[in-house]
Amino acid sequence: MYEIWLTLNILFELGLQYLPQVVASLLLWAMLMLFAATRPGVGWRRGLVPAFAVGIGVTAITFFITPGMTKSSFANMGYWVDWMNLFFYAAAFGAVAAALAWPIAASLRRAA
């Protein structure tokens, strides 16, 4: 239980450290959504599949490059909490990528 609490504290501190980037990402997402919403015939549903594919791709890439970026390796991950943290960090990056890709994909897949 201690490891999970430690992880939550680390995530909170990282969120505070990178608050400007988090706010900028939210503003970018809001602008993309506003841009897509003002275009006629936006295919919101048809844009979900490409956005989901982008999210899966970013999740996979993040999963495999994160240990190297942190000067670690998969061999150093001997505890289930380490694997869970890596997966959820990668999934979070994938979710942000999918959220940013969705309005773009929806704008490009407009209804005829």
Domain span at residue 101? 25-108
The predicted-structure confidence for 68-110, as pLDDT tens digits, reads as follows 888 888 888 888 888 888 999 899 999 999 999 999 999 998 7
Within a domain: residue 1? no
The answer to whether residue 48 is domain-embedded is: yes
33 in any annotated domain: yes
Overall domain count for the chain: 1
- Residue 112 pLDDT grade (very low, low, confident, very high; cuts 50, 70, 90): low
4 occurs within a structural domain: no
In whole angstroms, give the CA distance from residue 73 to residue 23: 31
Q: Give first-to-last CA distance, the chain, whole Å.
A: 53
Instruction: Indicate whether 11 belongs to any domain.
Output: no
Query: 3-state DSSP: the chain helix, strand, coil percent, rounded to 5?
Result: 80, 0, 20
Tokens for 67, please give them: 């240990």
